[in-house]
Structure 1
Amino acid sequence: MEKEYLSSDTTCQADENEDMQQEWLAPEFLNDIKYLELPNHKLTLKPGVAVMLLRNIDQASGLCNGTRLIVKELGNNKIGATVVTDRNIGDKVALLAKLVFTHGQLYVALSRVKSRSGLKVLILDEDGIPKSSTTNVMFKEVFNNI
């Protein structure tokens, strides 16, 4: 059974205040963008299909740009797969299992808030239950050349 995964199709309210023509921010326009560095709006997968990572997700675990996997299971926030290339052949992995910001994204998002009353953060656990904290991911490789 195949499953569709969609990108977010709304714009940030701060973007709507910019000096930009609003038709450029319409969901229909944003969802139709096809660009080499940007994933398509809709991704349709089914168990047994081969996929390749386009970004480094977890280098220590071998989940790097170019790693090939076979999709095994499809969930709402998780894709279960088996690695079929490189040194991690046979490893079972979960993609998208943890909803976390990459380094710097939370800081950037929070730095754009103009007042405390304008700040709202919704954090959900794996079961969709609201939480009061999240994980700030820091890759130790960032400090290698300091």
Structure 2
Amino acid sequence: MKRIKLVENMRAKLDEVFSKYLLFVGNGVEREYKKCYIKIPSEMIIPYKVMKTSLRQLINHIYGKLNDYANNLDAMTTRAILTTKNEFVDGINQLFIEEFVGDMVKYYSFDQIIDNNEHSVTEEILNSLVFNGIPPHELILKKNCLIMLLRNINPAEGLCNGTRLICRHFERNVIDAEIINGDYKGKRVFLARIPFVPNEGDKCPVQFKRTQFPIRLCFAMTINKAQGQTLDYVRIYLPEPVFSYGQLYVPLSRAKCAASVKMSIKPSNCNKYCDRTKNIVYKDLLKHVDEDD
């Protein structure tokens, strides 16, 4: 068995300066201004203001007039806002769907307690519960809006966790959608509600089952969900620093050149600068890999 080391970012190979910067960020050798904090090039920065203002700036930078893209699907599907947590993703997607052209369609989940002896939890409480990988009780959609699949439904036909789609038509119990990425791009599929149960690690106060369409909006998505994707335009929203290994490198490296990346960083007590953020890299781990080679 031969070990092969990846040393070049193929997406950004036509922008040598950006490619080198990505390599430095990924290897943890970009200059640190304090422990783990690095400076982002000024041309990538959109100065952070209050939350809603900063989000609207990001939306305007990536889409301009959002409704112009409702019928320009190729352009719309090659851009995204990336952030760290689902709570930030949900807030951004809510702004998007409110401004997106078209009539709203709402789908509600069917939530039920698994333990029939548990009577203290009301349906309203179940509806309010939110967990990673489980769709919300209320799904708000519009024709041509972007969605992402949350489960492996049929990998052999391109329906995998993380597949991006566009809503084409709505029925009471079926959503007609079109795959927009991967080998099955352009394929029309029909999605139905399926059951979801929280994982043990979710620390759910009560065992319950939610039956809902296995999707969520994805004008914005978490950094982790963006792994492996190539985008023409990337906007990175960091109201909090990244919290895991490689989580800064991933969004920066989704684009092909520096001009395609913009970032908004919220200053904090730990970091008062809007152009510096945390870069978490396990240098000792990389060192051992290099020594093994």
Q: TM-score, normalised by structure 1?
A: 0.58
Partner of 2:116: 16
Relative distance call for 1:100 and 1:3 in structure 2 (3 A) is: closer
Q: Is the 8 A contact 2:134 2:150 kept in 1?
A: no
Q: State the Cα deviation string for residues 58-83 of structure 1 (Å, max 9, x = none).
A: 11110001110010001111101111
Runs of 4+ that moved beyond 6 A: none
SS at match of 1:35: coil
Query: Aligned AA for 2:182?
Result: D
Q: State the Cα deviation string for residues 14-40 of structure 1 (Å, max 9, x = none).
A: x332xx4x33x2101100001113221
| Greater C-alpha radius of gyration | 2
Say which structure is richer in helix: 2
1:44 pairs with 2:44: no
Partner of 1:105: none
Task: Give the alignment's Cα RMSD to 1 decimal.
Answer: 2.0
Q: Within 2, Cα distance between the matches of 1:3 and 1:81?
A: 14
Q: TM-score, normalised by structure 2?
A: 0.30
Q: Within 1, Cα distance between the matches of 2:169 and 2:127?
A: 26
Where does 1:31-70 land on structure 2 (aligned, <5 Å)? 31-70=127-166
Relative distance call for 1:91 and 1:46 in structure 2 (3 A) is: same
Gaps of 5+ in 2: 1-102, 196-293
Query: Aligned AA for 1:87?
Result: D
Partner of 2:185: 89
Gaps of 5+ in 1: 102-146
How far residue 100 of structure 1 moved from its aligned partner, in angstroms, is 8.0
Q: Within 2, Cα distance between the matches of 1:48 and 1:100?
A: 22
Query: Aligned AA for 1:4?
Result: K
Q: How many corresponding residue pairs? A: 93
Query: Aligned AA for 2:110?
Result: S
Identity of aligned residues (%): 38
Q: Within 1, Cα distance between the matches of 2:116 and 2:184?
A: 44
Say which structure is richer in strand: 2
Query: Aligned AA for 2:133?
Result: E
Q: Within 1, Cα distance between the matches of 2:194 and 2:130?
A: 26
1:7 pairs with 2:103: no
Relative distance call for 1:100 and 1:48 in structure 2 (3 A) is: closer
How far residue 52 of structure 1 moved from its aligned partner, in angstroms, is 0.6
Q: Within 2, Cα distance between the matches of 1:100 and 1:84?
A: 22
